[in-house]
Amino acid sequence: MRVKRGKELAKRIKVFVATVSCLALTVSSIGCKTPKQNDPKLLLGFSQIGSESAWRIGNTNDIEKQAENYEVSLMLENANQKQENQIAAIRRFIAYKVDVIAFSPIVEEGWDNVLMEAKNAGIPVILVDRDISTEKEGLTSCLIGADFYREGEMAGEYLIRKADALGLEKVNIVEITGTDNSTPMRQRQAGFADAIADDERMTILESIDGDFLKSRGAECMRSLLEKYKDEITVVYSHNDEMTLGALPEIEKAGLTPGKDIIIISIDGGQEAIDVLKQGKINCVVECTPKLGKEVMETAIKLKNGEEVEEVIHPQENVFTDEQDLSKLEPRGY
């Protein structure tokens, strides 16, 4: 567990100890003066999924930076890609009596019990980046994250334009998907499939789980090339990491990514944008990891008992080989 602003937290623990001894003294009716409160403005527990991608690392950095800007004390836990670690972290936040809990659920299902515990403890919960799926009402206060369905649609819309520009009659797609049962995986798949559904040129040969990891992206690409080698027109990959893992495999197979195979990626980290500029990726749909400002502002509102927006989606773009990208600002992740 990483505890930021240690001094303030130490003070908070001290205040807690002092209050307990004060209570004990009050009970024994000796009387006690309440110590001067010097609490941090807000104590936020954040459970991050892991460090699987440049996106994720950029997201963690941004949340740490904005916590400092907003003078929020941050308890940050990295779950190393395991749901059980996230559940344990949320339980620790509850035991610690944080003011607000934020977390990025690795998958959509399986949160009801722990979120009910947070609700019973009166601690509001912010979903960051990914959503949950539940039958229960009121377990979370809001969601701050990208519109993944729209990202998938933008990828599909680009592909239709590209197929038109190249005059393609048949487009065979292989899809390398993100972590099974995660929101970005489900929504990026659905948005893309819906966008190309009415275009008879398009066939999805196979969708394969790459778990948002570079190493898995390479493995998936190897097996797809073995199966379909000369048939593949397009690789649609749900994040930059998997794309960057897949590209060398395509080259090893004697094909040129960006020319022999159209490459579509999502995230828009610096490395993928550089490769797009070199012509080995054709399209990168932006997904911004910079959610920290909204998270801090929302957490402060929740602590103050104010209303918050149920869903906040950042504004996102698409970067493609149709554009002049020479003046694009550094991406910062």
Q: Which residues bind ligand GYE (CB under 6 A)?
A: 52-53, 55-56, 129-130, 146, 184, 212, 239, 241, 266-267, 287
Are 250 and 279 contacting, i.e. CB atoms less than 8 angstroms apart?
no
The one-letter code for the residue type at 246 is A
Closest contact distance (angstroms) between CB of 105 and ligand GYE is 10
Please report how close the Cβ of residue 177 comes to ligand GYE at its closest, in angstroms.
11
Single out the residue of 286, 280, 276 nearest to residue 323, CA to CA: 276
Q: In angstroms, what is the minimal distance from the CB of 62 to ligand GYE?
A: 13
Encoded amino acid at 42, one letter: L
Q: Closest distance between ligand GYE and the C-beta of residue 83, in Å?
A: 14
Contact at 8 Å (CB) between 27 and 239? no
The residue among 62 and 99 lying less far from ligand GYE, judged by its C-beta, is: 62
What is the distance between the alpha carbons of residues 255 and 173, in angstroms, rounded to a whole number?
Answer: 16
Does residue 236 contact residue 155 with C-beta atoms inside 8 Å? yes
The rounded distance, in Å, linking the Cα atoms of 118 and 330 is 39
> Given the complex with ligand GYE, which of 47 and 233 has the nearer CB atom?
47
Residue 239 or 298: the one with the smaller Cβ distance to ligand GYE is: 239
Q: Which is nearer to ligand GYE, 241 or 321 (CB)?
A: 241
Beta partners for residue 206, in sequence order: 174
Looking at residue 165, its amino acid is: A
The one-letter code for the residue type at 138 is: G
* CB 272, min distance to ligand GYE, A: 10
The residue (of 53 and 189) whose beta carbon lies closer to ligand GYE is: 53
Nearer to ligand GYE, 177 or 239 (CB): 239
Q: How far is the CB of 255 from ligand GYE (least distance, A)?
A: 24
Provide, rounded to whole angstroms, the least separation between the CB of residue 55 and ligand GYE. 4
CA angle 277, 230, 286 (to 5 degrees): 30
Q: How far apart are CA 65 and CA 292, in angstroms?
A: 8
Residue 9 or 287: which CB sits closer to ligand GYE?
287
Strand boundaries in 148-306, DSSP class E: 171-177, 202-209, 234-237, 262-267, 283-286
How far is CA 247 from its chain centroid? 23
